[in-house]
């Protein structure tokens, strides 16, 4: 791997280059890195923003939605002029203005069991910014089969959580074996969400993704970070790999074929 950075890059990333924990070698790793961001909404916006600013060289963005005016209170990479535009296009335009070193692959589709393996196969890491359980379980299951790390985040009203799932550690199903039944957990369109909340959680996800690409620091493996914006508190709760987990346990799955991701997203036999 060449460690050469041109004059503009040495200037742009100078605050990284002077750090012993990053340096020119680490910055080159970021520039060579490939991250897939699932969702370009509240969580995806700050993740895309900070991965691009840090110089992650290829960012894939998966989303099938368009920008709505009600998004703008929290989805900070989109602007009023983007209303009606596909979020992946708006995200790509934002990154293009922010950092010419970064290539954006705009995947205007919903990640599902039919395309997940192909999409994930193009990248080094996945940042799960999805707003629904079906996508989260598909991402977890396919990433575990493919041996890819996932940085997960979720938000609700004033609260958020984040954890990092790596091949040698527990997976999302070790934490949440199955999804709640559809309709039992309201979304932000029903309950609302504090506009700055996804910024905090998304920045934590971006931090974890950058550490993974740098292979530096301690990540949230086997730990869930809970954030309460009303109380301004952070709490970290450990969790362990479930030896009977249908995905990452001793008899874990080798394919997602046959899994019904409707309802509770259960794996047959669990």
Active site residues: 188
Residues 6+ apart with CB under 8 A from 181: 263, 264
> In the chain, what is the greatest distance between 2 CA atoms, to the nearest angstrom?
57
Edge-to-edge strand ranges of the sheet holding 103-107: 103-107, 58-62, 34-38, 125-128, 150-156, 159-165, 223-228, 233-238
Q: 186: number of CA atoms within 13 Å, CB side? A: 7
DSSP secondary structure letters along 222-247: TEEEEEETTTTEEEEEE----TT-TT
Here the tokens at position 238 are 């450990």
């Amino acid at each position: 791997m060449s460690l050469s950075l041109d004059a503009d890059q040495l200037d742009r990333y100078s605050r990284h280059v002077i750090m012993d924990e990053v340096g020119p070698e680490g910055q080159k790793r970021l520039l060579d890195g490939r991250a897939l961001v699932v969702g370009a909404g509240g969580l995806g916006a700050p993740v895309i923003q900070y991965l691009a600013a840090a110089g992650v060289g290829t960012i894939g963005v998966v989303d099938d939605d368009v920008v709505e005016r009600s998004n703008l209170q929290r989805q900070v990479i989109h602007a009023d002029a983007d209303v009606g535009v596909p979020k992946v296009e708006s995200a790509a335009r934002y990154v293009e203005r922010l950092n010419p070193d970064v290539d954006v692959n705009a995947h205007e589709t919903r990640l599902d069991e039919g395309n997940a393996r192909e999409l994930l196969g193009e990248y080094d890491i996945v940042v799960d910014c999805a707003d629904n359980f079906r996508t989260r379980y598909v991402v977890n299951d396919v990433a575990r089969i493919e041996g890819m790390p996932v940085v997960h985040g979720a938000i609700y009203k004033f609260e958020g959580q984040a954890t990092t799932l790596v091949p040698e550690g527990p997976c999302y199903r070790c934490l949440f074996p199955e999804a709640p039944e559809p309709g039992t957990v309201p979304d932000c369109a029903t309950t609302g969400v504090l506009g700055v909340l996804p910024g905090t959680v998304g920045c934590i996800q971006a931090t974890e993704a950058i550490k993974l690409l740098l292979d530096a620091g301690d990540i949230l493996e086997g730990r869930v970070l809970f954030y309460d914006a009303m109380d301004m508190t952070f709490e970290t709760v450990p969790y362990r790999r479930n030896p009977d987990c249908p995905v990452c346990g001793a008899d874990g799955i080798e394919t997602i074929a046959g899994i019904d991701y409707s309802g509770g997203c259960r794996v047959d036999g669990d």
